[in-house]
Amino acid sequence: MKYYIISGEPSGDLHGANLIRHLKLTDPFAEIFVWGGDKMKAEGVNLRKHYRDLSFMGFGELVAHAGKIINNVRFFRKDILQFMPDAVILIDYPGFNLRMAPWLKQKGFNVFYYISPKIWAWNQSRISSIKKYIDKMIVIFPFEVEFYKRFSYQVYFFGNPVKEEVMNFKPDPEFRKKNNLTENPIVAVLPGSRKQEIQRHLSLILALQNDFPATQFVIAGLSAIDKNIYQKTLKNSAIKLLVDATYDLLYHANTAVVASGTATLETALFNIPQVVCYRVNPVSAWITRKVIKIPYVSLVNLLSAKECVKELLQEKFTPTGLRNELMRLLGDTEYRKKMTGEYQVLKEKLGPEGASARVAEMICQWTREGKTLKI
């Protein structure tokens, strides 16, 4: 069968790659076109668009890149009609995917959504579009099942692919040696996956490097981000930048400074004590506070339904605030032990391993049952 998969972010690229691997095992003759990244491409599929050309953050960027966004929509519609997939799989990336869903259904495609938009956090009005245009919604957090049940919409939870990815990770025993890292404690810095996030967060973290002389600050960089973006911010700093080595870095770290998102969950699954930091421009912050419907921003705290890790957001994300929390994370053994103990409870909530395999099997089954294209 033929599959068209759309992901617009690094986390979607990772989950998409795992899904593709299992789709090919379930359907050995699968033909797959994707919007994604290097991980999905490495699975031997046809990469139509790279996510580095798709990620725009904030109103200003959307306006500045309006022409590119319109061209992406045109390309998508033409490309998918030429390919004629048996199934379209949308992975997160709601700004684009939910806008394309009505058109996809109008054309008669089977539409699956893997990794739900975070409508439980904001913009719950999107539920009507999801119910109308998405054939099957596959979620990765157990609380999402209960959330959608409130709107009389059945979704499917097969486990969490992040847990699967971390549990299957094999660390490099030569990691420290290869990267000229000493045996001193490592603070892993995961500053985000977008240009504005990275620049804003790193500039605040840089102010601390001299306060922890016995500690190594190491940044988890992404190859999809222009290296100059990191280097312009770091300048002559002694802080190391390691590209596409996030899991090895977390495995060897003692503590982490993490921007909110999937990275907070990954850090918890590696049992690394962390502080979650995030700052946006004042206008975006004002809008966010008006529309966000959740008490926490980190997935660790949301899944735990309490503050397991400290969140330093907006005006609380200052060099002084971060310095105080890092001193506690590095030096308070009981504090670290309590946090990692909460992580163990969290892991149980994420369900069994093998999520990607079960999702692939069900998508193949549902597609065979629903092959009724109307073009």
Q: Which residues pair with 217 in a beta bridge?
A: 187
What does the pLDDT read at residue 120?
A: 87
Among 85, 107, 104, 86, which Cα is nearest to 96's? 104
Residue tagged 């499917």 (tokens): 156
- DSSP per-residue letters across 36-75: E-HHHHTTT-EEEEEGGGT---HHHHHHHTHHHHHHHHHH
Round to whole Å and give the CA distance between 12 and 353: 18
Crossing angle of helices 319-331 and 333-349, in 10° steps, is: 90
**Topology given in CATH for the domain delimited by 2-166+353-369:** Rossmann fold (3.40.50)
Task: Count Cβ atoms below 10 Å from residue 187 Cβ, excluding itself.
Answer: 25
Supply the mean pLDDT for the chain: 90
Query: For residue range 326-359, what is the model confidence (pLDDT) as tens digits?
Result: 999 999 999 999 999 999 999 999 998 899 999 9
**What CA–CA distance (Å, rounded) separates 112 from 127?**
15
What is the DSSP code (8-state) at residue 119? Answer: T
What is the per-residue pLDDT for 374? 38
Supply the pTM of this predicted model.
Answer: 0.86
Residue 107 three-state SS: coil
pLDDT, one tens digit per residue, over 85-105 is: 999 999 999 989 999 999 999
pLDDT of amino acid 281: 66
pLDDT at residue 207 is higher than 60: yes
What local confidence, expressed as pLDDT, does residue 290 receive?
59
Model pLDDT, residue 372: 44
* pLDDT greater than 70 at residue 59: no
Token pair in block for residue 271: 């049992």
**pLDDT at residue 142 in the model:** 92
Provide the 10 A C-beta neighbour count for residue 190. Answer: 27
Between CA 213 and CA 220, with CA 216 as vertex, the angle to 5 degrees is 145
Summarize pLDDT for 287-312 with one digit per residue, the tens. Answer: 666 566 677 889 999 999 999 999 99
Assigned token pair, 57: 């953050």
Question: Model confidence over 260-278: pLDDT tens digits?
Answer: 788 999 999 999 999 999 8
The mean per-residue pLDDT over the stretch 134-153 comes to 95
Contact between 190 and 258 (Cβ < 8 Å): yes
Residues of the chain above pLDDT 70, percent? 91
Distance (Å, rounded) from C-alpha 364 to C-alpha 82? 21
Position 125 scores a pLDDT of 85
Distance separating alpha carbons of residues 210 and 215, to the nearest angstrom: 9
- Model confidence at 64, pLDDT cuts 50, 70, 90, reads very low
Please indicate whether the domains covering 2-166+353-369 and 170-349 agree at the CATH topology level. yes
Summarised one tens digit per residue, pLDDT across range 208-256 is: 888 999 999 999 998 878 888 898 888 878 899 999 999 999 999 999 9
The Cα–Cα gap between 134 and 139 comes to 13
The answer to whether 196 and 58 have CB atoms below 8 angstroms apart is: yes
Q: What is the pLDDT of residues 160-194, one digit of tens each?
A: 999 999 999 999 999 999 999 999 999 999 998 87
The answer to whether residues 185 and 215 touch, using CB atoms and an 8 Å cutoff, is: yes
Report the distance separating Cα 349 and Cα 143, nearest Å.
9
What is the arithmetic mean of pLDDT over 7-16? 91
* CATH code matching the domain that covers 170-349, chosen among 3.40.50.300, 2.40.160.10, 3.40.50.2000, 1.10.240.10: 3.40.50.2000
Q: Where are the domains of the chain?
A: 2-166+353-369, 170-349
Q: Which of 24, 82, 104 is nearest to 32 (CA)?
A: 24
Q: Do the beta carbons of residue 57 and residue 225 sit within 8 Å? A: no
- Amino acid 282: pLDDT: 65
